């Protein structure tokens, strides 16, 4: 049977006498299909790396060589970087019962599949830069102390809360939207969640041993603090808060959407704060963070250097690309900081308006520093001579025998 002609199609060709060339059913021999398509799953349009959890597994081609043939059976470390590994079962890892560290960076692994009798001694697992979408297959790796799943396609944090020996866990550059399912990790010291899609800081109240928290390049807009936070820590569950982390030493929250520094009052042991590339207009909220050694407030909209007098242990201040214009404020806030050795003030009005005098003026108000921006401070011969004279005067010179 001939196809039914499409009435919307163009007119069929004509003969010399003006009649159309068609068969008895009116078909001109051309197959026409209406250009209509229905997208069943619209998520694939906005997400170029979309993966369907229920889709059948991709057929794996068996390796034509044994990548581990040169490893001894009692080896404690396996390293296969950029080897185009796509299937873990094909490696037959059960041959290495004593392995403690595995690094499979930059491969094509999409599923975590280890033999059920493997991994009793495994402590360090590195699967950085692969094609993993779902966290599975870690149930029996209970001795893990370090797990790196950075640069994959992970959307949800799952199936890791039983790994109670973990000290370091890395989820950098994934597609995670929520911090969750970390309740059992009481020994965790380092949590890296930079470059994801997180909007709230939550579900961290059980991580009492956490010392480093990396949340740069997310979508966080606020750091909250609740009344009675130390008296009723249970109230913090599912809230946007970092205050339960009393042992936290490093907090990186760069490249987010924070308009102010808040919620850090209970972080009395904080030593390094990285809060550049946000929407800050003033320095505040650091009154209780007296142990700060490094403060990075670069790339904000801060016009005045203030509220730093109490930071007596400050060693490095990064304040580039703001609106600072007063050398008097620099002297007032920083001149008494004996430990201060590095400052960054480039791309502020105080540098752009007088670039030739900028460095000398900074040295004049802060004579104790060793580095201005990316350049070390040069010590003149006169200054070096005076320093040596002072050293000689206070040091007993022993005679040379």
Supply the DSSP string of 255-293, one letter for each residue: SS--SS--S-TT-TT--EEE--SS---S--S-TT-TT--
Number of alpha helices (DSSP H) and beta strands (DSSP E) in the chain: 5, 14
Mean pLDDT, rounded, for 314-329:
98
Helix (H) or strand (E) holding 191: strand 190-192
Helix (H) or strand (E) holding 317: strand 316-318
Question: What is the per-residue pLDDT for 27?
Answer: 81
Query: What is the residue-averaged pLDDT of the chain?
Result: 85
**pLDDT digits over 29-63, tens only?**
787 777 666 666 666 666 656 666 666 665 555 55
The answer to whether the CB of 327 falls within 8 A of the CB of 350 is yes
Cβ-Cβ contacts under 8 Å for 321 (sequence gap 6 or more): 298, 299, 300, 346, 347, 348
Residue 272: count of CB within 10 angstroms of its CB: 18
Mean pLDDT, rounded, for 131-137:
96
Residues of the chain above pLDDT 90, percent: 70
First and final CA of the chain: distance in angstroms?
Answer: 116
Question: What is the per-residue pLDDT for 3?
Answer: 53
- pLDDT of 171 over the 70 cut: yes
Helix (H) or strand (E) holding 349: helix 349-352
Q: How confident is the model at residue 233 (pLDDT cuts 50, 70, 90)?
A: very low
> What is the C-alpha separation between 47 and 223, in angstroms, rounded?
29
- pLDDT of 90 over the 90 cut: yes
* 3-state secondary structure (DSSP) of residue 214: strand
């Amino acid at each position: 049977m001939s196809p039914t002609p499409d009435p919307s199609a163009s007119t069929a060709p004509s003969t010399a006498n003006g009649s159309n060339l068609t068969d008895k059913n009116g078909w001109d021999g051309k197959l026409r299909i209406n250009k209509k398509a229905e997208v069943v799953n619209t998520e694939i349009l906005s997400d170029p790396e979309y993966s369907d959890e229920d889709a059948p597994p991709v057929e794996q081609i068996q390796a034509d060589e044994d990548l581990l043939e040169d490893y001894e059976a009692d080896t404690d470390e396996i390293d296969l970087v950029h080897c185009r590994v796509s299937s873990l079962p094909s490696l037959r890892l059960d041959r290495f019962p004593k392995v403690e560290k595995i690094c499979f960076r930059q491969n094509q692994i999409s599923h975590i599949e280890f033999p059920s009798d493997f991994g009793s001694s495994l402590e360090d697992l590195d699967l950085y830069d692969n094609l993993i979408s779902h966290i599975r297959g870690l149930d029996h790796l209970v001795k893990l102390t370090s797990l790196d799943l950075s640069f994959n396609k992970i959307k949800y944090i799952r199936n890791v809360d039983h790994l109670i020996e973990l000290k370091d866990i890395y989820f950098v550059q994934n597609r995670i939207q929520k911090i969750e399912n970390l309740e059992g990790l009481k020994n965790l010291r380092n949590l890296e969640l930079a470059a994801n899609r997180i909007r709230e800081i939550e579900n961290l109240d059980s991580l009492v041993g956490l010392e480093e928290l990396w949340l740069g390049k997310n979508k966080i807009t606020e750091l909250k603090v609740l009344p009675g936070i130390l008296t009723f820590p249970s109230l913090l569950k599912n809230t946007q808060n970092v205050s339960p982390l009393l042992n936290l030493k490093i907090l990186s929250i760069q490249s987010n959407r924070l308009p102010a520094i808040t919620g850090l009052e209970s972080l009395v042991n904080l030593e390094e704060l990285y809060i550049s590339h946000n929407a800050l207009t003033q320095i505040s909220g650091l009154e209780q963070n007296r142990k700060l050694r490094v403060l990075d407030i670069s790339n904000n909209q801060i016009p005045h250097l203030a509220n730093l007098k109490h930071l007596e242990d400050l060693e490095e201040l990064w304040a580039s690309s703001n609106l600072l214009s007063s050398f008097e404020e620099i002297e007032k806030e920083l001149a008494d900081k004996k430990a201060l050795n590095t400052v960054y003030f480039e791309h502020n009005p105080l540098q752009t308006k007088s670039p030739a005098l900028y460095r000398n003026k900074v040295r004049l108000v802060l004579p104790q520093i060793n580095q201005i921006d990316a350049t070390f401070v040069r010590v003149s011969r006169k200054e070096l001579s005076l320093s040596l004279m002072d050293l000689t005067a206070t040091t007993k010179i022993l005679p040379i025998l």
